[in-house]
Structure 1
C-alpha cells in the first residue's frame, strides 16, 4: 500500500554558459532542474522517479502534491497500469501533456523502481528485456562564447577518444553557412566512421529546414533532429518525404496518442521519447512497441538527471534498442545523485542488474541540491 509520496525540487548551479538554438533565439536555456518523486510503501520500500522540470519545478511539485498524491495514497503500488490510468483520467480537464504528464512520469518511474525492489529484479527484466549494454551517442557541440572552432573540435575528439561512435551537434543558432563549417570541422577530426547527427531544437521554419536539410545531406549527416516546431506534423511529414536525411523527433511530444499521430503521418523517420516527460516507463514502453508495430526505430532522448537516464536505459534494454542519447556536460544531478557511477564501457551504457532502477540515492542529495 502507498503510505506517502514526497517530492523534491533539485537544481544544479554549475551549468556552463553553453546554449542551444532555442535559447539564443530569445527563449531562456532551461536550468538543470528536476523534480524527484519518492514513494514510500506501508512495508517500508522506497521508490524514486524523475519529472521534467525545465524552469517549472514549482508547478510540477504542486501537481504531485495537490493532485496526484491524494489519488494514490492507500492504493496498491503494484497496480502500475491501473494507477497510470487513474491519474490520466482524473486530470482530463487540464492534463494530457506538459506539467501534468511530467508529474505522472515521475510517479510511474518510482512505481517501477518499487516493483523491482519488491521482486528483487531489475526493471528491464520485469519488462521482458535481456540486453546488457546499449550504444550511447553523445550530445554536445553546444554554442558558447568561450568555444571557438578549435575548442569544438577538441570537445568532439574527446568523445570519440572515449569510445563513442555517435555524436550530436547543436545547430540553428548561427547562419547555415557557419553551422556547416562547424560540422565540416568536426568531421575532419572524428573521421568517417563516427556518426554525426544534428539537433535544431525546433527553431527552423519549414523552408529553412528544407534548405538546411539538403545541405546536411551532402555531409552524410546521420539524422536531423526536431527541425521545426512539434505542432507542424504535416510539414514535418513533407520534410521527411523531401529529404534523404532521416528526420528524428519529437521528444517534445507526450503520450502514445501524440506519438501515434507523429508516426501515422510519417512526420519522422526516427522516433525519440523520454520517460521523464512522456508518461514514465509504462508509457514509453507503449510508444516503443507502437513504433515497432509501425516500423520506426526508436532512440531514447536524454537531457536531465540520472534517474531518467537509467529509466530510459531499462526501456532501451527491454525494447532491444541499438542507441540511447547521453550527455557528458558537467551535471551533478546525473553524476552525483547515486551512490555509484553510471558505468560506461567502450561507448555503451551498461544496464544495471540490481533491483529496481539498480541505483541508490545519496543521502545528502535532497539537501545539497534543493532549489533555492
Structure 2
C-alpha cells in the first residue's frame, strides 16, 4: 500500500552558458531543474521518479502533491497500470499534455522502481528485455560566445575519442550558411564513419526546414531532429515525404495518443520520446511497441537528470533499441545524484542489473541541490 509521496525540486546552477536555438531566439530558457518523486510503501519499499520541470518545477510539484497524491495514497503500489489510468482519467479536463503528464511521469517511474525492488529484478527484465549495452550518441555542439568553430571541432572530436560513434549538433540559431560551415567542420573533425545528427529545436518554418534539409542531405547527415513546431504534423509529414534525410521527433509530444497521430500521419521517420514527460515508463513502453507495430525506429530522448536517463535506458533495453541519446555537459543532477556511476563501455550505456532502476539515490541531494525559490 502507498503510504507517502514526497516531492523535491532540485536545481543545478553550474550548467554553462551554452544554448540551443530556441533559447537564443528568446522563446525558451531551460534551467537545469527537475522534480523528484519519492514514494514509500507500508512495507518499507521506496521508489524514485523524475519529472520534466524546465522552468515549471513549482507547478509540477503542486500537481503531484495536491492532485495526484490524494488519488494514490492507500492504493496498491503494484497496480501500476490501474494507477496510471486513475491519474490520467482524473485529470482529463485539464491534463493530457504538459505539466500534468510530467507529474504522472515521475510518479510512474517511482512505482516501477518499487516494483523492481520488491521483485528483486531490474526494470528492463520486468518489461521483458534482455539487451545490456546500448549505443549512445552524444548531443553537443551547443551555441556559445566562447565556442568558435575550432572549439566545436575539439568538442566533437573528444566525444569520438571517448568511443562514441554518433554525435548531434544544435542548429537553427545562426544562418543556414553558418550552420553548414559548422557542420562541415565537425565532419572533418570526426571523420566519415561517425554519424552526425542535427537538432533545430522546432525553430524553422516549413520552407526553412525544407531548404535546410536539402543542404543537410548533401552532407550525409544522419537525421534532422524537430525541424518545425511539434503541432504542425501535416507539414512535418510533407518534410518526411519530400526529404531523403530522416526526420526525427517529437520529444515534446505526450502520451500514446499524440504519438499515434505522429506515426499515423508519418510525420517522422524516427520516433523520439522520454519517460520524464511522456507519461513515464508505462507510457514510453506503449509508444515504443506501437512504433514497432507501425515500422518506426525509436531513439529515446534525454536532457535532464540521472533518474530519467536510467529510466529511458531500461525501456530502451526492453524495446531492443539500437541507440539512445546522452549528454556530457556538466550536470550534477545526472552525475552526482547516485552513489554509483552510470556505466559507459566503449560508447555504450550499460543497463543497471540491480533491482528497480538499479542505482542508489543519494538522499543528501535533496538538501545539496534544493531549489532556492
Instruction: Give the TM-score of the pair, scaled to structure 2.
Output: 0.99
Quick one: distance in 2 between partners of 1:267 and 1:28?
A: 24
Q: Secondary structure at the match of 2:97?
A: coil
Is the CA contact (8 Å cut-off) linking 1:226 and 1:250 kept in structure 2? yes
Q: Secondary structure at the match of 1:315?
A: helix
Structure 1 residue 55: Cα displacement: 0.4
Residue number in structure 1 paired with 2:141: 141
Residue number in structure 2 paired with 1:300: 300
Residue number in structure 2 paired with 1:323: 323
Residue number in structure 2 paired with 1:202: 202
Residue number in structure 1 paired with 2:288: 288
Q: 1:222-246 deviations in whole A, cap 9, x for unaligned?
A: 0000000000000000000000000
Superposed counterparts of 1:47-58, under 5 Å: 47-58=47-58
Structure 1 residue 28: Cα displacement: 3.5
Is the CA contact (8 Å cut-off) linking 2:172 and 2:200 kept in structure 1? yes
Is the CA contact (8 Å cut-off) linking 1:39 and 1:46 kept in structure 2? yes
Q: Secondary structure at the match of 1:44?
A: coil
Residue number in structure 1 paired with 2:276: 276
The answer to whether 1:335 aligns with 2:332 is: no
Q: What stretches of structure 1 move > 4 A for 4+ residues in a row?
A: none
Q: Secondary structure at the match of 1:211?
A: helix
| Count of residue pairs brought into register by the alignment | 372
Superposed counterparts of 1:128-277, under 5 Å: 128-277=128-277
Quick one: distance in 1 between partners of 2:362 and 2:145?
A: 34
Is the CA contact (8 Å cut-off) linking 2:29 and 2:55 kept in structure 1? no
Quick one: distance in 1 between partners of 2:300 and 2:223?
A: 14
Quick one: distance in 2 between partners of 1:132 and 1:172?
A: 35
Quick one: distance in 1 between partners of 2:333 and 2:98?
A: 22
Structure 1 residue 34: Cα displacement: 0.2
Is the CA contact (8 Å cut-off) linking 2:102 and 2:278 kept in structure 1? yes
Structure 1 residue 334: Cα displacement: 0.2
Superposed counterparts of 1:25-44, under 5 Å: 25-44=25-44
Is the CA contact (8 Å cut-off) linking 2:138 and 2:168 kept in structure 1? yes
Residue number in structure 2 paired with 1:61: 61
Structure 1 residue 363: Cα displacement: 2.5
Structure 1 residue 26: Cα displacement: 1.2
Structure 1 residue 364: Cα displacement: 1.0
Q: Secondary structure at the match of 2:321?
A: coil
Quick one: distance in 2 between partners of 1:254 and 1:274?
A: 9
Is the CA contact (8 Å cut-off) linking 1:20 and 1:29 kept in structure 2? no
Quick one: distance in 2 between partners of 1:93 and 1:363?
A: 35
Q: Structure 2 unaligned segments of length 5 or more: list them.
A: none
Quick one: distance in 2 between partners of 1:132 and 1:302?
A: 18
Residue number in structure 2 paired with 1:124: 124
The answer to whether 1:101 aligns with 2:101 is: yes
Q: Secondary structure at the match of 1:136?
A: strand
Is the CA contact (8 Å cut-off) linking 1:131 and 1:318 kept in structure 2? yes
Instruction: Give the TM-score of the pair, scaled to structure 1.
Output: 1.00
Quick one: distance in 2 between partners of 1:313 and 1:92?
A: 29
